Structures are given as C-alpha cells and as structure tokens.
C-alpha cells in the first residue's frame, strides 16, 4: 500500500487509540491488573504515530503529537504521582519518591519507543529536545522542584540519626541522592545546590556542637580518638551513599572543625600537659600532633 492509498488518520481518532496504550502502560506502572504489551500491540502503537506523522500537510500531526507526548506525562504526574508523594512524609516519602522515579523512567522508555518516529525525523529537523529529555524534564519541573526541599531535609535528618548511632537504610539514601544526580541530566548542579551545600552546612553545625561538648568532657587523647573515628565514619558515609565528589568537601568541613589535623583553641585548664603530650602515642602520622607547640592556648 502506497502513502496515497493509506487511509487518513484524523488527530483525535489516532490519539484516542494512543491513549488506550498510554493508559495500559500507566496501569502496569501502578500495579493494576493488566496484560503486558505484546509485539503486535507495540507495532500498532508505533505504526499509528508513524502514519500520523507521514501524512501530507495539513494532516501531518507531528507537532501536535510531540506536544501531547509531553502532556501525557504532565497529566499522569499531576493526577497520580504528586498526590501520592504529598500524602507521605519523612522516610515514607523518600521510598515513594524512589519508586515514582523508577516508574517514570520506565514510562519515558516505553513512550519514547511508541513515539520513536518523532525522535528520528521531526525532532531532528526542528532541533527540539529529544523525547527522553522531554520526559525527564517533566519530572524535574513538576515533581523535583516541588519536593526537593522536603526530600533534602528528610535525607539530612537520616544522616544525623546515623551519626548518633542509629541504623538507617543506606540503600534508600543512595537511591534518593542518585535522583539529585540524574535529574541534572549531565550536570551536578542539582546535587550540589539542592542537597550538598545544605548537607555540608549541617555537618559543620553538627561537629561544631560535638567538638564543644568533647572539649568540656574528654581528655585530650579521648578527644582525638573520637575525632579520628568521626573521620573514618564520614569517609565510609561517602562510600555508601554520598556522591564521590562530596568527599573532599566533607573533609574540608571536618578540618575546619578540627576533626582531621588538630584541635580547637582550648583553655589550658581543660587538658593537662601530660594529656597533650601523650597524643604522640596514639598515632603520630595520622594525628600529626607532636608536641605542645601544636596547640594554641589562651587565658
């Protein structure tokens, strides 16, 4: 059959058929009873888009289909994704977000296959954002922008709870922070500006409080042992769920609060000289404290 012999598909007629496929995909993502797509269904959906994009003007509906591709994500997000996230809090919200992000990427993958002809020809000729990019932008603009502050606060709260000795779900945090990285689509701006900068501020405040408390309560060697243990745990934290680029920044914060190289300014009556000089025996290389001149005293 030539293009001239092909039956014309009107916009609303073709879109009604496409919506059935999109609804089926959404049902699968939501865990509702639905059969998986078979090869025949997939080809029918792909062919419908192909036919609607290759009809002669003004029946070439490429632009309208491109717009409705985006609309499909926006309708789903506003009707199902955001309501599910808004009703949850703290760790439950984080779990929901991870599941919604995974589902969204599946939806992007499948819809971009159905609409693939747009990517190959229409988008390339018009220099428009690719289908995958459009799909991810919808999640970024509608979900991420609304939820990022609550998500950041929930993650930092869990990190502080872990610092206090509580067991947390590290895999969950790794997945959540992976969203901050992925949502940047090649840039680290979202991770650095929306999470990392706040996390570093919280780290500074946390260890400032700890250092003040330990100076009052502990001997000099005990303080240094605690500082060394904090350094070890923070490095471990990076390995488990923070992005690798955070490690050096985290160490700089610890150094500023005297958890790495030395001690804070102390009053001489807090620690006696024997305590100070005994630090050598703990670990000369790691602590880099060799005699009393490495300390600043004031009266």
With residue 169 as reference, give the H or E element that holds it: none
* Residue 50 pLDDT: 97
* Residue 257 pLDDT: 65
Distance (Å, whole) CA 25 – CA 72: 11
Q: In this structure, which CATH number among 2.60.120.650, 1.20.1310.10, 3.30.360.10, 3.40.50.300 belongs to the domain 11-143?
A: 1.20.1310.10
* Residue 5 pLDDT: 63
* Residue 135 pLDDT: 97
Give the other-Cβ count within 10 Å of 201's Cβ. Answer: 12
* Residue 2 pLDDT: 53
Domain span(s) for CATH 1.20.1310.10 in the chain: 11-143
Distance (Å, whole) CA 210 – CA 215: 9
Contact 17, 10 (CB under 8 A): no
* Residue 254 pLDDT: 83
pLDDT in tens, the chain (299 residues): 455 567 999 999 999 999 999 999 999 999 999 999 999 999 999 999 999 999 999 999 999 999 999 999 999 999 999 999 999 999 999 999 999 999 999 999 999 999 999 999 999 999 999 999 999 999 999 999 999 999 999 999 999 999 999 999 999 999 999 999 999 999 999 999 999 999 999 999 998 888 778 777 877 778 778 878 888 888 899 899 999 999 999 988 888 765 544 444 444 444 444 444 444 444 444 444 333 334 333 32
Give me 119's structure tokens. Answer: 């990517």
Helix axes 220-240, 170-182, angle to 10 degrees: 60
Give me 195's structure tokens. Answer: 């999470």
């Amino acid at each position: 059959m030539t293009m001239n012999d092909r039956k014309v598909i009107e916009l609303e007629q073709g879109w009604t058929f496409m919506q059935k496929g999109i609804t089926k995909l959404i049902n699968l993502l939501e865990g509702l009873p639905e059969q998986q797509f078979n090869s025949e269904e997939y080809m029918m959906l792909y062919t419908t888009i192909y036919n609607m994009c290759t009809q002669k003007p003004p029946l070439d509906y490429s632009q309208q289909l491109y717009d409705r591709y985006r609309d499909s994500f926006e309708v789903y997000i506003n009707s199902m994704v955001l309501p599910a996230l808004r009703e949850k809090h703290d760790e439950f919200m984080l779990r929901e977000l991870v599941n919604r992000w995974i589902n969204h990427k599946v939806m992007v993958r499948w819809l971009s296959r159905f609409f693939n002809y747009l990517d190959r020809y229409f988008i390339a000729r018009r220099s428009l954002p690719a289908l995958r990019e459009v799909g991810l932008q919808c999640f970024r603009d509608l979900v991420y922008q609304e939820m990022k502050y609550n998500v950041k606060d929930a993650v930092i709260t869990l990190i502080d709870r872990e610092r206090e000795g509580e067991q947390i779900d590290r895999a969950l945090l790794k997945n959540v922070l992976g969203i901050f990285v992925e949502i940047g689509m090649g840039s680290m701006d979202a991770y650095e500006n929306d999470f990392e900068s706040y996390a570093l501020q919280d780290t500074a405040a946390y260890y400032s409080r700890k250092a003040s408390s330990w100076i009052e309560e502990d001997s000099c060697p005990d303080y240094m042992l605690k500082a060394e243990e904090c350094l070890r745990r923070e490095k471990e934290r990076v390995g488990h769920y923070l992005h690798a680029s955070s490690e050096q920044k985290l160490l700089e914060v610890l150094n500023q609060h005297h958890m790495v190289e030395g001690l804070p300014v102390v009053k001489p009556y807090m620690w006696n000289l024997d305590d100070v000089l005994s630090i050598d025996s703990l670990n000369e290389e790691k602590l880099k404290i060799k005699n009393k001149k490495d300390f600043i005293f004031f009266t």
